[in-house]
Structures are given as C-alpha cells and as structure tokens.
Structure 1
C-alpha cells in the first residue's frame, strides 16, 4: 500500500520562490500544490484538502492575513505557516494573532521550513510521551483522542499549537514554566524561532478560555519567569 503523503499548499506570488519551496517539499516526501494568489488557493483548497498551508503575507488581491483567517475559521487542525519579509515584526505578530501556527522570515533555508512543518505536525499527531486520553483540571477537560478542549462543559476550539500548549500545561499544573521551557516542550528543542511565539499563543488562549482575559485566573503570568497553569481553586 502506498504511503499517504502530507498535502501542502504553497501560496506565493513570486514564481521562483514558490517553485523553490515546492521542489524542496516534494523532495522531502510531501504532496505539494502551488497557488500564485489567495483567489487561486480558494479555488483548489476544497478538492486538494491540504494538511499544511504555507502563505506569503504580501499577496496580490486577497492578502495572506485574510487567507490565513479564512483557513483557520474552516479548520482548527490545519498547520498554517506565514512567510514574512525580513524585520517585519508586526507581520509576524499579526499572523500569529489571527491563527497562524508559525512563521518564516525570507530568505530562509528550506530545510528549516521542513523542520518547522514536521514540528507542527507532531503536535497534531501527538508524537509525545504516552498520556491518558482524557484529562481534567478544575472546570476544564482535554480529550486527546478527539483533540478537543472543554471548559464548563462547553467545547472551545483551539488551534493545534494552542491545544499542545494546554496539554503541556495540564501535564505541569501549578508549575512556573519559563518561555524557553514552553518552547522546548511544545515546539521541540530543535526549534529556533522567535520566543515571542509563546507570548502570542498564550494571549490567544487567554482570549478563548479566561472569563476576563485582561485579568487571567487560569494561565497566570509569573513575572520574571514565564507562565503557570493554576491547578487548584
């Protein structure tokens, strides 16, 4: 039986960059579809059903942010990686805020892009230490098998990265974890991205699960250290 390949959609208007990315992803064993615009991506996405989307921020017509937001609204499990211009920190933060899992700064090494894709896919496929399939803490519950998160009996939709962070916190209740520790536990020790990705994702989670995100009571900030999930009332 042929091995099912991970499908990757590359949306980039510069043909040379798009083809370079596609060539390297094909060589790494991915099934790749290319699109030069968001409009083209939207035409093929329902039939292609990508597991991963690589989106350039600066696209003609519908920009990468808008496409990212749309794709995230349609799927909480799709891995979305944004391609940003060098030094554009606002683009990085904006992409993460609207649902991207990661970003790459141009120019980049294709091997690093492949490593980022695999690191994010591992979060979906749970290639981590064995753990009970259903975990409960306070009024929250995680169903690992179904990749669902609940608070007060109601499901809250999390992205793969957000789910992985909450699962990590559930394994370490009441423990103050530094940003570097969270980066290692969730993204892996070989991840060399910006540590700001931790803060952005925690802020995004708080917006979804806290009663008052401006005064968080579930994921607490430990000043000078990082974050802690409150494990007791």
Structure 2
C-alpha cells in the first residue's frame, strides 16, 4: 500500500483529498503548514507528497527546494491556485515532479498520482546499476546522479525523462512519445515542456550544452540519446 503525505492548510481541501485517496486504497498522512510538512518528509518514508504552494510558515516552493537540497527524491506534486506559466516552471525547477492547478478534477489528480507511482516503482525495481551518461553517473534505482564525487541535482521527472531516453538509446523518441509514456495522463503538458526538460538535462550531462553530443535533436521529429 502506497503512503501519501498531504501538505495543505485549507481544512476542507485537505479532508477532501484525504477521503478520496483513502477511497482509492492509499494510506494517508497530512500536515497543515510548510514547516510541519518538511519535518514529516524528513522523518518518514512516503511514496508521494501532495504539496500546496501557498502555505503558512514555509511555502511549498521552499519545502520543495529544501527537500531536494537534502537529496530526498520522494515524488512531489504541487497544488497551486495560480495558473501563470512562471509558477509552473518555478515549481519544476525547484524539483517538483508535476503540478495541478486549482480547481482540478479528482479524476485527473488520481491519474497523475497513479502514473507517477507506477513509474517510480517500475524504475526502482528494475534498474539498480549505475550508468555513465555524458558527464554524469546515474543510479536510476536511487535517483542519484554524480559528476565525479559531486552530486548533481535532478528532479524525479528529469530522471524519468533521462531513463526513458536511455531505455530507447540510439532510437528516435518523439516529443509525443515522452508526453504519453513519461507524463502519461489525459491532460498532457505541451511539447514545450518536453523541450524545457531536454534543455535542463543537457546542462547537466553534456560537456557543452550548446553543442550537444549525447541528447541530439532530430529536427521536426524529436530526440535521440547517443550511447
């Protein structure tokens, strides 16, 4: 049984999420502010965190940054009342794996949760060895990446995109393949989101991100990881 932590200060929203998650068979814990949520993430082993952005004491963005800085790779879905693109981009840059904008449908949220948990469990059980990709050595099992002896910060979603490309190394992967198989839910982000993730991955694995040799662009078609 997967355990999900809800960090949400609105009692009605928190209760609604808790009831729906428990109905789906998840074990649920919750926190009412950012500081309490951060302590719980640090002290327990959750399978996924639903994290509101606008929280008392410590914002969702700050919680996310602190968690990732400490090397914890628990999947995080941000809950935000803001629809501006800048907030979505910031959330992903701080290490979140996904986001939903309030008001959202329960069906959509559950689909995203199931997709992330499914991929996380599959990756964790099937890929334990460290693999050198460009400048970094990646352990897909533990969601860690290192350049030499230094850890490289990568979000859960960045690991998933890189793992998908590696699983199809030397093959053409279209943006729509990535949207379907990595994001994998009905309301998909745009192909621009995929491009942004590729840019960030290149910055971490390529010797010269402006002249990539590992993740190549196939113009008009998609990407290919050369290995």
Q: Shorter-chain TM-score: which interval?
A: 0.7 to 0.9
Indicate the residue corresponding to 1:94 in structure 2: 90
Residues 8 and 74 from structure 1, CA distance in 2 versus in 1: closer, same or farther, beyond 3 angstroms?
farther
1:217 and 2:221 correspond: no
Q: Secondary structure at the match of 1:25?
A: helix
Q: Within the alignment, does 1:194 sit opposite 2:189 as a pair?
A: yes
Q: 1:116 to 1:173 in 2, by over 3 A?
A: same
Contact 1:97–1:200 (8 Å) recurs in 2? no
| Cα distance, 1:148–1:57 mapped onto 2, change above 3 Å | closer
Establish whether residue 37 from structure 1 lines up as the match of residue 53 from structure 2.
no
Residue ranges of structure 2 left out of the alignment (5+ in a row):
none
Alignment of 1:79-228 (within 5 A): 79-85=75-81, 87-126=83-122, 143-149=139-145, 156=152, 158-188=154-184, 190-195=185-190, 196-228=192-224
Larger mean CA deviation between 89-98 and 168-177 belongs to: 168-177
Contact 2:96 2:156 in 1 (8 A): no
Contact map agreement 1:135 1:170 (CA 8 A) in 2: no
Q: Compute the displacement of 1:225 (Å).
A: 2.7
Q: Report the alpha carbon displacement of residue 152 of structure 1 after superposing the two structures with TM.
A: 7.0
Name the CA distance, whole Å, in 2 between partners of 1:99 and 1:10.
17
SS in 2 for 1:104: strand
Q: RMSD in angstroms over aligned alpha carbons?
A: 3.0
* Structure 2: distance between partners of 1:54 and 1:164: 19
Greater shift, 100-109 or 82-91, is seen at 82-91
For the residues of structure 2 that align with 1:74 and 1:112, how far apart are their CA atoms? 30
Partners of 1:96 and 1:144 in 2: CA distance: 19
State the TM-score, normalizing by the size of structure 1.
0.81
Unaligned 5+ runs, structure 1:
none
Is the 1:8–1:51 contact (alpha carbons within 8 Å) kept by the matching residues of 2?
yes
TM-score, normalised to structure 2's length?
Answer: 0.82
Name the structure 1 match of 2:45: 49
- CA deviation profile, 1:102-150 (whole Å, cap 9, x unmatched): 011111122221221121122221169x789666667766555555556
